[in-house]
Amino acid sequence: MEHLYDKLVKYSVSDYYGFHMPGHKRQQITGAEKLPYEIDITEIEGFDDLHHAEDLFINLQEYAAEVFHAEETHYLVNGSTVGLLSAVLGCTGYGDRILMARNCHKSVYNAVDLNGLIPEYVYPEFDETTDLNGEIRVEKIEQILEKDRGMNREAGIKAVVITSPTYDGVVSDIERISEVVHKYGIPLIVDEAHGAHFGFHEYFPQNANVRGADIVIHSLHKTLPSLTQTALLHMNGKLVDRDSVRRYLHMLQSSSPSYILMASIDECIRLVDEEREKVFKPYVEMLCQLRKEIGKLKNLQLLETMQYDASKIVISARGRMSGKELQEILLENDHLQMEMAAGSYVIAMTGPGDTQEGMNRLLNALRNLDKRLDEVLQGNRKQDKNLDEVLSGNRKMDAATMKKDPGFCRHPLIPAERVVESAKVKGRKGLAVPWQEAAGKVSLEFVYLYPPGIPIVVPGERVSEEAVQQILDYEKNGFTIEGTKKKDRLEVLKNG
């Protein structure tokens, strides 16, 4: 039997390079040279207690708030998930209504379920030229909030939740959105998990704390040098019931928080505070050069939107191969592990933990692949086994076929018909049916792609023909469908 520790050690000495989280990239760049067993303690004398802080953790969390420009900050050792759950639950009561972006992380949907919330959805713009879900438009949020106020409901929308930056790096206008949301006297919760590096260099946007957000959640481990599961929750302003959020943090977060993880949080914050220029200047220089060189490629395209987090290297092979195929080639041929593959692109996550050697390897791999693609597509290369396998079959390299071929595109999020609130489907009799038979029926389960964990179908929604086709397309192209109890089947409401 293979044991996890042995497998991890073996991988750690291999030549595989990760363009994925965690942001430390398995590099020792903080001052904490000894993290594991010898410093793994519990709440002993002199080391304070995170849940009942008296000195040490009061000081450390105040320091974190200062560095991240927040009024109040809390350490999270259960990842951004516990921060999002606590934020949503703390800002709402059972059965309240909430406005949330449809591309929110599954933990927000879980909070909706736990508190029996009634969600109103705002959908991101979808850019068909890049296959990217774009930003959340402030006009859409204002339209929904104004309509809500005009209906004179006793229980109006109690909070707004959006994700910025998204998994793909798309950034919404937090400053304008917060201004609009605050006009209606409700808090804005920003899932900025992928933007913990924001504000530490002018090349990146300012973080949401200084742009008007009331609650901001940062995953330190995603882009900064900190251990997996480490995150921060920040609170600002007077619209948030801070006591309620704190109560949920105490309820949902481990009662035995790891001192190793908390030390990692502190070391990470100390690094970006005390050695900010030393850490970010060379990283940004390497990143700018990498993006510049990738931009010169012929068959591979660097994707971005108007407001974008440049730390995300999103490489499209549209018209050449699917994102999944591109990911597999980079892994098998070059030992480069991407963070995620989507319809026609892959995401390479970068951060201060990256090395020049790692970025050079990515650039050289992309250059070589770009050249090989050119030769194969022009008929100048007699045989290329790996590319022949990818480009074989009956795919035509024309725009009309690409539109129909799910291997070359990502689907937009589909507006859904809610029949029953997700919290009310529990205990109802269900029937597991194949994907093809689910259309028109009411789902009792989530269906989502992971990563990034954004639902295609939510419990209580009627499954559309379009949703079924999306699921089949993604599955056909090797993407992971999660959320259901049984593979290739969805539990739906019996006689529903």
Q: How many helices (H) and strands (E) does the chain have?
A: 15, 22
CATH C-level class of 50-274 = alpha beta
* 8 A C-beta contact, residue 340 and residue 346: yes
Q: What is the pLDDT of residue 389?
A: 60
Torsion of CA 287, 291, 292, 298, to 10 degrees: 160
How is the chain split into domains, by residue range?
Answer: 1-47, 50-274, 275-392, 417-493
Q: What is the pLDDT of residue 128?
A: 82
Instruction: Give the three-state DSSP class for 81.
Output: helix
Q: What is the pLDDT of residue 401?
A: 39
* 8 A C-beta contact, residue 203 and residue 291: no
Q: What is the pLDDT of residue 29?
A: 64
pTM of the model: 0.90
Q: What is the pLDDT of residue 205?
A: 98
Q: What is the pLDDT of residue 397?
A: 42
* 8 A C-beta contact, residue 313 and residue 19: yes
For residue 39 the two structure tokens come to 């410093």
CA–CA distance, 115 with 73 (Å, rounded to integer): 24
Q: What is the CATH number of domain 275-392?
A: 3.90.1150.150
CA 180 to chain centre: 25
Could you say which of 3.10.620.30, 3.40.30.10, 3.30.1330.60, 3.90.105.10 is the CATH number of the domain covering 417-493?
3.90.105.10
Nearest residue to 261 via CA among 216, 291, 226, 219: 226
DSSP character at residue 208: G
How does pLDDT run along the chain (496 residues), one tens digit per residue?
Answer: 566 557 766 777 788 888 887 767 777 665 656 556 677 878 888 889 999 999 999 999 999 999 999 999 999 999 999 999 999 999 999 999 999 999 999 999 999 999 999 999 999 988 888 888 899 999 999 999 999 987 766 779 999 999 999 999 999 999 999 999 999 999 999 999 999 999 999 999 999 999 999 999 999 999 999 999 999 999 999 999 999 999 999 999 999 999 889 989 999 999 999 999 999 999 999 999 999 999 999 999 999 988 999 999 999 988 788 888 899 999 999 999 999 998 889 999 999 999 999 999 999 999 999 998 888 777 665 545 556 565 544 344 433 433 444 444 567 788 889 999 988 888 888 999 999 999 999 999 999 887 777 899 999 999 999 999 999 988 887 778 899 999 999 999 987 6
Q: Same fold for the domain at 50-274 and the one at 275-392?
A: no
Instruction: Check whether the bond before 452 is cis (ω within 30° of 0).
Output: yes
Q: What is the pLDDT of residue 263?
A: 87
Q: What is the pLDDT of residue 31?
A: 60
